[in-house]
Structure 1
Amino acid sequence: MRGLGPLEAKIMQRMWSGDAPQTVRAVHDSLAEDRKIAYTTVMTVMDNLHHKGFLGRERQGRAYVYSPATTREEHTASLLGEVLADGGDRANVLLHFVEHLDADELEALRRVVTDPDRSPHQDGAR
């Protein structure tokens, strides 16, 4: 999996923020609040995201409804995996990453590493 282009990223952010599958029209209307954008552009990008595996879709009447194929967190973890694979010495890359975590992030990481079945968000950790 690779990173997303600027419009793809905006669309995926909207899809991940939604609580239900969305039509092209709904995504277009949401994007059009911030910028002028053609409906067909949004439709094409969402179709491309579907073919790349980022969005699932189901026909509903004459239109498709789209939903994310993975969570935002799963996508981000995949990107981190690619960075680690391309970053040379994995341990050194991880060390530099951990050095930049704040105390809450470091505690969440510590919880996940010591108990993988425990959510990093339990007991108020973020």
Structure 2
Amino acid sequence: MSPRSRMGELEQAVLEALWSLDRAASGREVHERLDGRDLAYTTVMTVLDRLARKGVLDRERDGRAFRYVPRRTRAAMTAELMHEALQGTGADRDQALVSFVGEASAEDLAALRRALDELA
């Protein structure tokens, strides 16, 4: 099971905040990015620590504090989640792919075509 599929909603929000900062960030910076959620600073720090222990984040010492950075990009984690979902379909894998493509938007289909062209 991928790290992202094992994450709770708050863990995902913290990870999204880090991706939006696009650099190593302190707990304070992540807390500020989550300002609209009415979370205690200590709660954010607990989540950051938990994500680091799960291997989702790297942390580096910065004086007495730490700075956190995601180990993978949003795209890499999303791809891992999609791959994991397809593996769980067993014999229905082809049908799952057909269903996915059948419900995809025009933009998604264009992106998929570009990706397939790059791989060919």
Q: Give the TM-score of the pair, scaled to structure 1.
A: 0.85
Match of 2:8 in 1: 5
Q: Deviations over 1:57-98 (max 9, x none)?
A: 100100000011000000100110110011232111111000
- By how many angstroms is 1:56 displaced? 0.7
Partner of 1:112: 115
Whole-Å separation in 2 of the counterparts to 1:103 and 1:16: 26
* Percentage of identical aligned residues: 44
Match of 2:21 among 12, 18, 21: 18
Q: If each structure's helix is expressed as a fraction of its own residues, which one has the higher value?
A: 2
5+ residue gaps, structure 1, are 118-126
Q: CA deviation at 1:115?
A: 2.2
Amino acid at match of 1:109: L
1:58 maps to which of 50, 57, 60: 60
Q: 2:48 is aligned with what amino acid?
A: M
Match of 2:100 in 1: 97
In 1, Cα distance between the equivalents of 2:56 and 2:87?
21
Q: Equivalent residue for 1:79?
A: 81
Change (3 A) 1:36 1:115: closer
* Secondary structure of the corresponding residue to residue 67 of structure 1: strand
Q: How many residues align?
A: 116
> Normalized against structure 2, the TM-score is what?
0.89
In 1, distance between residues paired with 2:66 and 2:93? 41
Question: RCO greater where, 1 or 2, for CA within 8 Å and sep 6 or more?
Answer: 2
Bigger drift between 46-55 and 33-42 goes to 33-42
CA distance in 2, matches of 1:26, 1:112: 35
Greater than 3 Å deviation, 4+ residue runs: none
Q: What SS does structure 1 have at the residue aligned with 2:33?
A: helix
